[in-house]
Amino acid sequence: MNKLIDNLGREISYLRVSITDRCNYSCIYCKPEEQFEFIPHEEILRYEEIVEIIEEAVNLGVTKVRITGGEPLARKGVVDFIKKLKEIKKLEDISLTTNGFFLSEYAEKLKDAGLNRVNISLDSLQEEKYKRITRGGSLEKALKGIDSALKAGLLPIKINTVLIRGINDDEVEDFVRLTLGRPLNIRFIEFMLSGEELKDNYRDKFISVLEIKESLAEKYSFRPIDINSGNGPAKYYQIKGGQGTIGFITALSQHFCKTCNRIRLTSEGKLRPCLFSNIEIDIKRAIRNTKADDKIIRSKIIRNNIGEAISIKPEGHRLNEKFSNRDSFKMSKIGG
């Protein structure tokens, strides 16, 4: 079996694919409220181009693909797209990250198409606070989406909760209680600076999930549990008697760069070796400058671009440096 190994010996087996920068939400840590320029439609990768790139990535050694946005379910044709991915031999796992708004409509269709599982962003269990964080989102729709995903069997369901001090850190135990009676995997994620609304008071808003873990340990008895397939960033625990798990993703306080196994494909066709670096390979330009029926040359170009992206994958991110001294990025245009 082929394997993709970078210059530091890390095996790259995971490709995150953004299919759109559009989203029906404007979360405060992801997208600025005003003056946001969407990528022109003609610059967004076509589905057939994405499938072609993924096919070559799988032939090289990628086994897992996660579909992201923006909000991926906001793009038309996503169910048929998942069907095409399911046809790719040796692709072992297809997952999708969503805000849950459209999930009650799509869960069964996505499962039937071949989707294995979902991650759902959920940063508050309080209606008004949820609306504030998402700038108008519907908590009711998100919760219905979770119910629909459970019913459809899109398991395991991972709930991504970005903790922001003074905004939602008082809800940690409410989220933990969700794991007691339902098979949900709640993942507390450290707030990562991306150059959006909260950058001016970032240090005041950051809260280490290690701090949260220590606080929970005073009230709950939990044990480590392994639900990762591959080198996932979360460390999981299960509370005694609980059906689900709680996970901690420490992107800053204890970064996991040494075991990072992923690269990204942005919706505008750039291969991005690291989420937090602006170094990219323009694979879209390379394939659009080649005739569609010249399969052998296109295959070679795609493989060469993937190889180049992996060869320049950095040792680690620079998130702990001062904001002015490192790359800024727009999470909604990359697909976190």
- For the residues 85-106, what does the mean pLDDT come to? 98
Is the model's pLDDT at 320 over the cut of 80?
Answer: no
Q: Note the pLDDT of residue 228.
A: 61
- For the residues 196-214, what does the mean pLDDT come to? 75
Residues contacting 80, CB < 8 A, separation 6+:
47, 113
In three-state form (DSSP H/G/I as H, E/B as E, the rest C), the secondary structure along 56-90 is HHHHHCCCEEEEECCCHHHCCCHHHHHHHHHCCCC
- For the residues 82-100, what does the mean pLDDT come to? 98
Residues contacting 34, CB < 8 A, separation 6+:
none
User: Which one-letter amino acid corresponds to residue 49?
Assistant: E
- For the residues 153-172, what does the mean pLDDT come to? 96
Length of the chain: 336
- For the residues 79-106, what does the mean pLDDT come to? 98
What superfamily would CATH give domain 14-334? Aldolase class I (3.20.20.70)
Is the model's pLDDT at 53 over the cut of 80?
Answer: yes
Contact 225, 216 (CB under 8 A): no
For residue 201, CA distances in Å to 7, 189, 204 come to 37, 18, 6
- For the residues 284-289, what does the mean pLDDT come to? 96
Confidence of residue 193 (pLDDT cuts 50, 70, 90): low
User: Which one-letter amino acid corresponds to residue 303?
Assistant: R
Smallest Cα–Cα separation from 269: which of 291, 285, 256, 255?
285
pLDDT digits (tens, 9 = 90+) for 1-14: 789 999 999 999 99
Residues contacting 16, CB < 8 A, separation 6+:
65, 66, 68, 262, 263, 264, 265, 335
Residues contacting 169, CB < 8 A, separation 6+:
163, 207, 212
| Mean pLDDT for all residues in the chain | 89
Confidence of residue 192 (pLDDT cuts 50, 70, 90): confident
CA gap 37, 55 in Å, rounded = 31
Q: Residue 94 forms beta bridges with which residues?
A: 65
> What sign does the CA torsion over 98, 100, 104, 108 have?
positive
Confidence of residue 199 (pLDDT cuts 50, 70, 90): low
Within 10 angstroms of residue 24's Cβ, the number of other Cβ atoms is 17
pLDDT digits (tens, 9 = 90+) for 110-160: 999 999 999 999 999 999 999 999 999 999 999 999 999 999 999 999 999
Residues contacting 202, CB < 8 A, separation 6+:
191, 193, 323
Q: What tokens were used for 107? A: 């869960």
pLDDT digits (tens, 9 = 90+) for 215-258: 999 999 999 998 765 556 788 999 988 999 999 987 655 566 88
Question: 317 or 163, which is more confident?
Answer: 163
Q: Quick one: angle between helices 295-311 and 47-60, nearest 10?
A: 70
